[in-house]
Amino acid sequence: MWESNLVDRSLAILGAGVIGSSIIRSLIGSGKDWKIIATARSDESLNKIKKMGIDATRDNIYAVKNSDVIILAIKPSQLINLADEISPFVKEKLIISVVAAAPIKWLSKKLTGAKIVRAMPNINSETSSSFTVLSTNSNIDAASKKLVEEIFSSIGYYEWVDEKYMNALTALSGSAPAFLAEIIDALALGGIASGLPRDLAYKAVLYTMQGTAKTLLEKGWSPHYIRDLVITPAGTTIRGIMVLQGNGLKRSIMEAVLEAQKKADEIENYLFNS
């Protein structure tokens, strides 16, 4: 059955918001022959989907019945009702949930007979630059896993992880684009305060951040190593780092990640463990 599904490539995205729409665009641009149905609530979202040249509907059951792969891309608070709605129609289908904090155990119980994968991409899927973490259970088969990898490789880099790390990674890689955006904004404002034009300040920060990430990834260096290469005794950089350390930058960022994970844990306990 799964060999035919791989050929058929019928996929439904339930909740084609930011992440769902970016997945659609990436799959359309992948050169593979995907048959995609997407659901949304508002006329505005439905029209955006239709402009991409795919089937758009409010009918989740129709989308599920006509697809072998279903991506759940809705808010956690909407998942319980959606799961009840589609559960009679998911047997032997591949369900990929990008819903924050929804555990595989709960999904498997509610969507009986389906193959379950939990995923957490981030907003960088908009430029096919997402870091996506994936987790599943022993019920997954090789063909299904290969298909999941094909989907998420189209929006960036993916990595399989133990599910116990998913809430922490939701807080880190899922929320990090927002945290980094705050840091970028602060650095650029510092440049503006130093007399730089706004566009030049932002461009300097963005390209420097991109280059730093590339250097760390390709060289395998730790952050403190690249820091030590830059600082010089009584130089400009160490003076700035002294201010950052004095204002508790590292502690603030660490606490931001911990608070985001705490919220993911709270959502899981409130919605899915009651």
Domain CATH for 42:
3.40.50.720
The verdict on residue 32 lying in a domain is yes
Q: Residue 274: what pLDDT? A: 67
pLDDT surpassing 60 at residue 178? yes
Where is the domain boundary, 142, 165, 188?
A: 165
Contact (CB, 8 A) for 108 and 87: no
Residue 259's CATH number: 1.10.3730.10
Range of the domain at 154: 2-165
**Is pTM, for the whole model, over 0.75?**
yes
- B/e letters for 74-101, b = 16+ CB within 10 Å, e = fewer, are bebeebeebbeebbebbeebbbbbbbbb
- DSSP 8-state assignment for residue 164: G
- Chain segment 99-146, per-residue pLDDT in tens: 999 999 999 999 999 999 999 999 999 999 999 999 999 889 999 999
pLDDT surpassing 60 at residue 7? no
Where is the domain boundary, 165, 184, 214?
A: 165
Mean pLDDT of the chain: 95
Q: Residue 31: what pLDDT? A: 87
Same domain? 62 vs 149: yes
Half-sphere exposure in the Cβ direction for 112 (13 Å, CA): 2
Same domain? 105 vs 24: yes
What is the spatial distance between Cα 190 and Cα 263, in angstroms, rounded to a whole number? 31
The percent of residues in the chain predicted with pLDDT above 90, rounded, is: 94
Residue 257 burial class via C-beta count within 10 angstroms: exposed 0-12, middle 13-18, buried 19 and up: middle
The verdict on residue 274 lying in a domain is no
- Chain segment 206-221, per-residue pLDDT in tens: 999 999 999 999 999 9
Sheet order of strands, 130-136 included: 55-57, 35-39, 10-14, 69-72, 94-97, 115-120, 130-136, 156-160
Domain count, the chain: 2
Same domain? 94 vs 113: yes
Same domain? 61 vs 158: yes
The percent of residues in the chain predicted with pLDDT above 70, rounded, is: 97
Where is the domain boundary, 165, 200, 235?
A: 165
pLDDT surpassing 60 at residue 242? yes
- Chain segment 8-67, per-residue pLDDT in tens: 789 999 999 999 999 999 999 988 889 999 999 999 999 999 999 999 999 999 999 999
